[in-house]
């Protein structure tokens, strides 16, 4: 049942200055590297001046450990993987992490960053990581901390229910389009029930440890720490949060529990990474901060996401008169020859617009194309084929656009890795709340241009238009 957004203001405020000071003390005493495995590129949506790697070989991980940063990201794109691919990748990552940690003598905390609307390979990813790490090293994990709160995206958890903001209402995530996802759907109303559903009953709802808003708002550090210290056997912990200040209280207690010998894996959305790593607030990026080289060419916006929010944002984008729109007919995906001709048609039209100095928006047919086989992985494979076509509208360009915006999680990952050839990027910050901007390394296809990673389910109806207007302004 939806509730009013105003309910969030009914909770007592936290002494945030005091909470921040206490967290700073714990951060100063903790020397672990925070390694964030991001199942699509949108997870960098709360941080700035942080490195993201698009591969997980030992050299990249070693580079991250040797850097002076407390936090670095590894883009796995596993939300676009089959179950078998996901296991393979996470086994490789866990093995390489163990080796690098042993060689450098640096301990680490491991965050599996996933979708704030609870879609993704859970519990598969964290179970795989735990199994390999514990098999190959002395490291042991007492519990798994689950925190889907993401303020910038309008995602809040209270009374153990995760909500998604729609206008002035908060709708339980299980009642949204996201819960009906063909691959990662769920029906559970509360977060403990979600854990039970996704683990097939291996972890029962009544056994899940929950950290309530009331405990956090009363700044009950001792009580929260005691709860965390009581967890064993990879037990699940739900963090309720409606503001970053809640995370500062929780993370203080969490670091105290770690200091007492407890160890956790994290399955979270983007917000807690910023707090765990002590990353400061940063103003939204201006055009001057993003554009390092002016161009007479137009920019490119590629849209793969099919959420209702994305479709509404594309329609709002049409209000800008200087954008050309090209629709990729995704209904042709099952006919290889016809689909290739369709991609070539779109590429030719796209190039013409760019060279004319006009920004172009390439988007897939808004109707969702499904496999209709009853097999979730068939649905995933079909979506990957369509996303591969979308990324090729950047990867096969032989002219340099002024900027690239990629809309959608799988789409933005494919554009980053396959189309642009990014191996290492610097996260500059955000162009709008929850929408990160990357600066690609010199090895990329178009060095120096801004790459905007735009999640499919983030922002208001006008946000895509606003981002485009910022980049297109003189």
> What are the tens digits of pLDDT across the range 184-222?
999 999 999 999 999 999 999 999 999 999 999 999 999
> Percent of the chain, pLDDT > 70?
98
Query: 413 and 328, same structural domain?
Result: yes
Residues 112-132: pLDDT tens digits?
A: 999 999 999 999 999 999 999
CATH of the domain at 359: 3.40.980.20
Does any domain span residue 281? no
Query: 167 and 192, same structural domain?
Result: yes
472 dihedral zone (left: phi>0; alpha: psi -120 to 50; beta): alpha
Phi, psi of 324, rounded to the nearest 5 degrees: -95, 140
- Give yes or no for a contact between 66 and 26, defined as CB atoms under 8 angstroms apart: no
Query: 83 and 217, same structural domain?
Result: yes
Does any domain span residue 282? no
Query: 121 and 80, same structural domain?
Result: yes
- Give yes or no for a contact between 116 and 409, defined as CB atoms under 8 angstroms apart: no
SS3 404: strand
Give the pLDDT of residue 372. Answer: 64
Confidence of residue 370 (pLDDT cuts 50, 70, 90): low
Does any domain span residue 19? yes
Give the pLDDT of residue 383. Answer: 74
Give the pLDDT of residue 401. Answer: 95
Mean pLDDT, residues 76-99 taken together:
95
Domain span at 420 = 287-472
Give the pLDDT of residue 65. Answer: 98
Does any domain span residue 362? yes
The set of residues, in sequence order, having a beta carbon less than 8 Å from that of 301 and lying 6+ positions away, is 317, 323, 359, 360, 361, 362, 404, 405, 407, 464, 468
424 dihedral zone (left: phi>0; alpha: psi -120 to 50; beta): beta
Does any domain span residue 452? yes
- Give yes or no for a contact between 224 and 249, defined as CB atoms under 8 angstroms apart: yes
Does any domain span residue 48? yes
**Closest by CA position to 259, among listed 228, 217, 234, 231:** 228
Question: Is residue 378's pLDDT more than 80?
Answer: no
Query: Measured between alpha carbons, how far is residue 388 from residues 369, 376, 395, 415, 420 in Å?
Result: 14, 19, 10, 9, 13
Q: Is the pTM of this model over 0.85?
A: yes
Question: Is residue 367's pLDDT more than 70?
Answer: no
Listed range (4-13, 38-47, 358-367, 382-391) with the worst mean pLDDT? 382-391
Element (H, E) at 327: strand 323-328
Give the integer Cα–Cα distance in Å for 466 and 386.
Answer: 27
Question: Is residue 385's pLDDT more than 70?
Answer: yes
- What are the structure tokens assigned to 181, written together? 């996802």
CATH of the domain at 126: 3.40.50.10840
- What are the structure tokens assigned to 306, written together? 């099919």
Query: 322 and 427, same structural domain?
Result: yes
Query: 213 and 125, same structural domain?
Result: yes
SS3 146: strand
Say how many Å lie between the first and final Cα of the chain, rounded.
46
Q: What is the mean pLDDT of the chain?
A: 93
Kindly tell me the burial class for residue 380, based on how many C-beta atoms sit within 10 Å of its own C-beta (0-12, 13-18, 19 or more).
Answer: buried
Residues 128-184: pLDDT tens digits?
A: 999 999 999 999 999 999 999 999 899 999 999 999 999 999 999 999 999 999 889
Mean pLDDT, residues 22-44 taken together:
94
Query: 391 and 256, same structural domain?
Result: no
Query: 58 and 130, same structural domain?
Result: yes
Give the integer Cα–Cα distance in Å for 408 and 393.
Answer: 15
The DSSP-derived string for 153-184 is: GTEEEETTEEEEEETTEEEEGGGSGGGG-TTT
Does any domain span residue 147? yes
Which of the listed residues 232, 251, 276 is the one where a domain comes to its end? Answer: 276
Question: Is residue 295's pLDDT more than 80?
Answer: yes
Give the pLDDT of residue 212. Answer: 98
């Amino acid at each position: 049942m939806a509730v009013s957004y105003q309910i969030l203001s009914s909770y007592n405020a936290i002494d945030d200055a005091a909470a921040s000071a206490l967290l700073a003390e714990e951060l100063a005493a903790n020397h672990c590297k925070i390694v964030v495995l991001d199942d699509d590129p949108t997870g960098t949506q709360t941080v700035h001046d942080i490195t993201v790697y698009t591969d997980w070989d030992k050299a990249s991980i070693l580079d991250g450990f040797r850097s002076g940063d407390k936090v670095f990201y590894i883009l796995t794109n596993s939300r676009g993987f089959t179950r078998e691919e996901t296991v393979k990748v996470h086994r490789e990552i866990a093995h390489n992490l163990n080796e690098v940690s042993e060689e450098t003598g640096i301990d680490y905390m491991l965050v599996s960053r996933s979708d704030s609307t609870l879609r993704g390979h859970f519990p598969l990813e964290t179970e795989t990581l735990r199994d390999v790490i514990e098999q190959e090293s002395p490291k042991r994990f007492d519990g798994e901390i689950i925190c889907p709160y993401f303020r910038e995206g309008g995602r809040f958890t209270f009374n153990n229910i995760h909500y998604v903001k729609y206008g002035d209402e908060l709708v339980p995530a299980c009642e949204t389009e996201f819960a009906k996802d063909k691959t990662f759907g769920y029906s559970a109303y509360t977060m403990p029930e979600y854990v039970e559903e996704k683990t097939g009953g291996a972890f029962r709802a009544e056994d899940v440890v929950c950290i309530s808003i009331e405990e956090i708002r009363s700044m009950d550090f001792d009580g929260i720490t005691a709860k965390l210290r009581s967890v064993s056997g990879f037990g699940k912990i739900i963090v309720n949060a409606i503001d970053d200040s809640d995370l500062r209280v929780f993370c203080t207690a969490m670091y105290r529990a770690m200091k007492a010998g407890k160890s956790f894996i994290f399955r979270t959305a983007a917000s807690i990474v910023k707090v765990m790593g002590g990353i400061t607030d940063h103003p939204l990026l201006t055009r001057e901060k993003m554009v390092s080289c002016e161009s007479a060419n137009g920019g490119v916006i590629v849209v793969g996401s099919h959420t209702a929010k994305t479709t509404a944002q594309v329609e709002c984008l049409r209000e800008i008169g200087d954008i050309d729109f090209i629709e990729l007919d995704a209904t042709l995906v099952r006919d290889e020859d016809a689909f290739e001709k369709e991609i070539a048609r779109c590429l030719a039209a796209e190039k013409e617009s760019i060279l004319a100095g006009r920004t172009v928006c390439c988007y897939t047919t808004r109707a969702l194309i499904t496999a209709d086989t009853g097999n979730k992985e068939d649905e995933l494979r079909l979506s990957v084929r369509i996303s591969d076509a979308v990324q090729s509208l950047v990867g096969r360009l032989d002219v340099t656009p002024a900027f690239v915006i990629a809309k959608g999680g799988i789409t933005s990952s494919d554009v980053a890795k396959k189309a642009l050839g990014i191996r290492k990027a610097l996260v500059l910050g955000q162009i709008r709340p929850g929408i990160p901007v990357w600066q690609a390394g010199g090895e990329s296809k178009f060095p120096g241009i801004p790459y905007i990673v735009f999640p499919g389910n983030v922002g208001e109806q006008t946000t895509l238009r606003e981002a485009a207007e910022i980049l297109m302004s003189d």
